[in-house]
Amino acid sequence: MSTAAKQKAKAAGIRLDDDSMDTPSEPLAPRTAPGQLIGLQGRVHSQQAEIEKLKRALEQRAPGKLPLEKLHEIPGRRRRLTSAEYAELKANLTAYPLAQPITVRERPDGEYDIVAGHNRAAVYRELGRTEIDGIVLDIDDSMVEYAAFFSNLLSPTLSDFEKFWGFKSLQESTGITKEELAKAAGISDSHVGRIMKFDLLPSESKDLLATCPERLGSNAAEQMAKAVAEGREDKVKAAIERLVSDNTFTQAQAVAATKADRAPRDRHEPMVIRRGARKVCQISARNGVVGVSFSGSAADEADQWAEKIRVFIEAELGKQ
């Protein structure tokens, strides 16, 4: 399964409510459209409240020291960093204190599953550290992916494509609007709108970008989405495929490769005929039209030259 498909599967698996019933039978779902809408709005409101609660916990809860030997990595949750990004992170953490605590969730055995901060924990282990600053979150299963996303959202290294997948998961699981999403994430509506342009790219291209999310930013994605809308999907697919496979190929070159083909310009320069230093006439040819323009006193001879041109053309045609 592709990374993009896994992301969609995660979003599809998140429940919109935590209601449980002790009675043996499930309540009947509303059958009318108004009833279904009211039920959906209630679940969306509940989920939004949980997101706000989670954000406050991430922003306000004081970190504590956590033993690295008790931290466990969850497969598939670790952010993918390039070798250069990982080396930069390691150099930073070697020289400076941890600026952003990791977030974890306590396990029944008293140890912890890492929610966000796998790379920071890995670097600390490589540096021989025994503890790391962390925030312990008391959240249920449905909110773990949100916690990972909002924790990473604070990182300046989070790529636009990774933000897109996080935003898309939130939208699909809660039904919140773009404006509500922007408010929850604390960024502008226009920024969220631009990031969501990734969704207009071909599915194959999104699968490729999921393997190298840092290769395409939201500005370039927005221009490529426009190219798709204008019927140049094949150009977009080819450009993104090369962008992912060729590190020397830049975003600007990728965007340029998706532009519409321009009609070739007529580069024929006018031909000037002179009598000595004096200009007699100028001949131009463009789009099947030959024009002869006489200058000065030669203009009085234009009719005579027109007749000579006719005779010449007829003579040439007679040779064919």
For residues 193 and 229, state if they share a domain. Answer: yes
Rounded (10°) angle between helices 178-185 and 33-60: 20
Of the residues 138, 163, 189, the one at which a domain ends: 138
**Which letter does DSSP use for residue 194 in this model?**
H
Backbone angles phi, psi at 14, to 5 degrees: -80, 125
Any long-range contacts for 243-247 (C-beta under 8 Å, 24+ apart)?
Answer: 243/215, 243/216, 244/208, 244/209, 244/211, 244/212, 244/215
27 burial class (0-12, 13-18, 19+ CB within 10 angstroms)? exposed
Q: What is the pTM of this model?
A: 0.50
CA dist 132 and 68 (Å) reads 7
Within a domain: 83: yes
Work out how many domains the chain is built from and give that number: 2
pLDDT of 72 reads: 92
Q: What torsion, rounded to 10 degrees, do the Cα atoms 302, 305, 306, 309 define?
A: -160
pLDDT of 12 reads: 43
pLDDT of 234 reads: 94
Of the residues 117, 138, 159, the one at which a domain ends: 138
For residues 105 and 133, state if they share a domain. Answer: yes
pLDDT of 142 reads: 63
pLDDT of 54 reads: 59
pLDDT of 111 reads: 92
H-only helix segments in 127-217: 144-153, 160-174, 178-185, 189-195, 203-211
Range(s) of the domain holding residue 184: 144-258
> Which amino acid would we find at residue 67?
P
Within a domain: 216: yes
pLDDT of 156 reads: 58
pLDDT of 56 reads: 63
For residues 102 and 177, state if they share a domain. Answer: no
For residues 190 and 217, state if they share a domain. Answer: yes
Within a domain: 97: yes
Which residues in the chain land under pLDDT 50? 3-4, 7-44
Integer-rounded Cα Rg, in Å, for the chain is 33
